[in-house]
Amino acid sequence: MSRNWIGEIMLLGALLFGSVLFGVFFGQVAWFLVFALALFLARWVWQMYRLDEWLDSRRRQPPEAWGIWGHVFDEYHQLQRRQYKSKKRLARVIREFRESTTAMPDGTLVLDDSFHISWCNEAATRLVGLVPRRDLGQAVTNLIRSPVFAKFLSTGDFNQALEIRSPIDDARTLMLRLVPYGNHQYLLIIRDITRLVRLQAMRRDFVANASHELRSPLTVLAGYLDMLASGNELGPEWQKPVSEMQAQCRRMTNLLNDLLELSRLETDETDASDEYVVDVDGLIRRIFHDVRAMDEDKHVLDVDIDPDCQLRAIEGELHSAMSNLLTNALRYSPEGTTITVRWFKSDSGMAIFEVTDQGVGIEKKHIPFITQRFYRVDSSHSRKTGGTGLGLAIVKHVLKRHGAQLEVESEPGEGSTFRFVFPADRVVRRSGLPD
């Protein structure tokens, strides 16, 4: 028991003891006891009145008192001071947050659990045309009118950013990212990426135009070289240079074809259609037929295909990705080694295309970068074997459009395993019924 309570009990005891003494002296013990209790109760009522008056007046300093009431006044005063300091810190944090978000070039909106706007910064008013005094409390979909944005909010998957046209200027492109935080609140960050989109479009247009313009002179050169190689006018000393020039022309043609394909895939960033079902068994066998003719039986090709596993996909893009993977395996594997190709459905229902070789392998530090344009682990080997450096970049975009993942396992000197993992919702049995 605290000292304050002991003092309060001692006061009550002293009043009762005094009342008994006076009661005995005057012969009215009961009345004096009632008077002592009433006096003690009156003190408590008076102290409660002082507490209530102090709380209403909002004075900083508490009333003077002793005993348990002095303890109550002091503790409540300390609680008020702590709360006051906490409110000041919170106000400072909020002020700094608003100042920092106001200074941000990106638009920032605070949304509640129903996606109504609670707050926005100045950049948001500039990027999407919000008027704070008018639009606070409005649903964000009423102000950023986009079916894609509305669908994005309804899905609840906010891991990826969303690109939309500006609601106030169709010529501008905005990137939206929604970040959940706090108690069912959201932070909507809006960034103007118009310049980046234009630069990407310029790059794609340049690649496409340059590829088309180079195709004609390359065709002319290849035709003249083929004519020279097929004629008997060349001496032995020219046969090797002409053969080398033909190989370089073929390599440049392959490079242009890959650039055009990559440019097309980058331009069309929507998901691949799942309207058509691809007979993957027949597709892989056609790729094998072409690869065998190109390889001239320099490698042992082992194939294991599940003929009942089909895929909702775009056949041309699937052909490009699979043939790139198999061609790379041939290119980087020594003659006489075995290359294994598997197509099967996993226990979880996903479809997997897997190519395993016994080639040179890849160091782990290179694996995260092999899908970048023109990234080469060994550039001299790629040039020697005719690689363009774009095959895996094409593979990455094809898989992205089909919602698939690329997995790579490799050890230097022991070979590599490249694996396409397609989602279960694209897998179809040969009967045509979804798995």
- In CATH, what number is assigned to the domain containing residue 119? 3.30.450.20
Q: Is 287 in the same domain as 411?
A: yes
> How far is it, in rounded angstroms, from Cα 180 to Cα 133?
24
Count the domains in the chain: 4
H or E segment to which residue 256 belongs:
helix 236-267
Written as six digits, the tokens of 324 are 């790139």
Contacts of residue 309, Cβ cutoff 8 Å, sequence gap at least 6: 280, 281, 343, 344, 345, 351, 427, 429, 430
> Tokens 């001496």 map to which residue?
235
Written as six digits, the tokens of 103 are 């200074």
The enclosing domain of 410 has a CATH number of 3.30.565.10
Among 267, 285, 301, which residue terminates a domain? 267
> How far is it, in rounded angstroms, from Cα 300 to Cα 284?
16
Q: Is 236 in the same domain as 304?
A: no
Other CB atoms closer than 10 Å to residue 97's CB: what's the count? 13
Q: Is 308 in the same domain as 413?
A: yes
Residue 336 CA from chain centroid, whole number = 43
For the chain (435 residues), the mean pLDDT of every run of 10, in chain order, is 70 78 79 82 80 71 71 75 84 80 81 89 85 85 87 85 87 90 87 88 80 82 82 74 83 80 72 80 88 81 88 89 88 86 89 89 86 69 59 87 89 88 88 50
Q: Is 415 in the same domain as 289?
A: yes
Among 208, 243, 267, which residue terminates a domain? 267
Q: Is position 345 within any domain?
A: yes
Specify the pLDDT at position 433: 46
The enclosing domain of 200 has a CATH number of 1.10.287
- The answer to whether residues 283 and 318 touch, using CB atoms and an 8 Å cutoff, is yes
> Tokens 């899905």 map to which residue?
155
The single-letter DSSP state of residue 116 is B
pTM equals 0.56
Written as six digits, the tokens of 186 are 């959201």
Other CB atoms closer than 10 Å to residue 184's CB: what's the count? 10
Report CA-CA distances (Å) from 250 to 138, 238, 256: 61, 18, 10
**Helices (H), strands (E): how many in the chain?**
13, 13
Q: Is 296 in the same domain as 421?
A: yes
Q: Is 380 in the same domain as 394?
A: yes
List, as one string, the DSSP characters of 343-381: EEE-TTS-EEEEEE--SS---TTTGGGTTSTT--SSHHH
> Tokens 């003249």 map to which residue?
224
Q: Is 201 in the same domain as 185?
A: no
Report CA-CA distances (Å) from 330 to 286, 358, 369: 16, 10, 21
- Amino acid symbol at 142: N
Among 66, 91, 116, which residue terminates a domain? 91
> How far is it, in rounded angstroms, from Cα 309 to Cα 427?
7
Q: Is 282 in the same domain as 417?
A: yes
List, as one string, the DSSP characters of 182-242: TTTEEEEEEEE-HHHHHHHHHHHHHHHHHHHHHHHHHHHHHHHHHHHHHSS-S-HHHHHHH
Q: Is position 272 within any domain?
A: no
Q: Is position 177 within any domain?
A: yes
Pairing state between β 338-345 and 173-181: unpaired
Q: Is 35 in the same domain as 147?
A: no
Q: Is 377 in the same domain as 313?
A: yes
Q: Is 138 in the same domain as 244?
A: no
Q: Is position 400 within any domain?
A: yes
- The answer to whether residues 435 and 429 touch, using CB atoms and an 8 Å cutoff, is yes
Q: Is 287 in the same domain as 394?
A: yes
Q: Which domain holds residue 346?
A: 277-429
Q: Is position 214 within any domain?
A: yes
Please give the sequence-ordered ranges of beta strands (E in DSSP) within 230-308, or none if there are none.
277-278, 300-305
Q: Is position 434 within any domain?
A: no
> How far is it, in rounded angstroms, from Cα 355 to Cα 269?
26
Q: Is position 373 within any domain?
A: yes
Specify the pLDDT at position 422: 92
